[in-house]
Amino acid sequence: VMKKAGRGTHGHIAIGTNYINRAIAYMEMLGVEFDEATAKKDAKGNLKAIYAKGEVAGFAIHLVQK
């Protein structure tokens, strides 16, 4: 449940990961592209979340650092 509409026609799916940079590298090897404009970083500049380009069955997919 979200307070306001987000990305994706039907919503979005978050995938939590312990190592977001490793997850991005692995998914890029599989052909997934990421939208750098959606990257969220913490005060130290560490990546905390990023959306993949496009949708899957109407859902936007994003990775989230645990």
* Residue 34 near residue 52 (C-beta atoms within 8 A): yes
What mean pLDDT do residues 17-41 have?
97
Instruction: Give the predicted TM-score (pTM) of the model.
Output: 0.88
Model confidence band, residue 6 (pLDDT cutoffs 50, 70, 90): confident
Beta bridge partners of 17: 65
Per-residue pLDDT tens over the stretch 30-53:
999 999 999 999 999 999 999 999
Exposure string for 30-50, b = 16+ CB within 10 A, e = fewer: eeeebeeeeeeeeeeeeeeeb
Q: Is the pLDDT assigned to residue 1 strictly greater than 60?
A: no
**Range list of H helices, the chain:** 20-29
Q: Is the pLDDT assigned to residue 60 strictly greater than 90?
A: yes
For residue 7, report the phi and psi dihedrals to the nearest 5 degrees: -75, 160
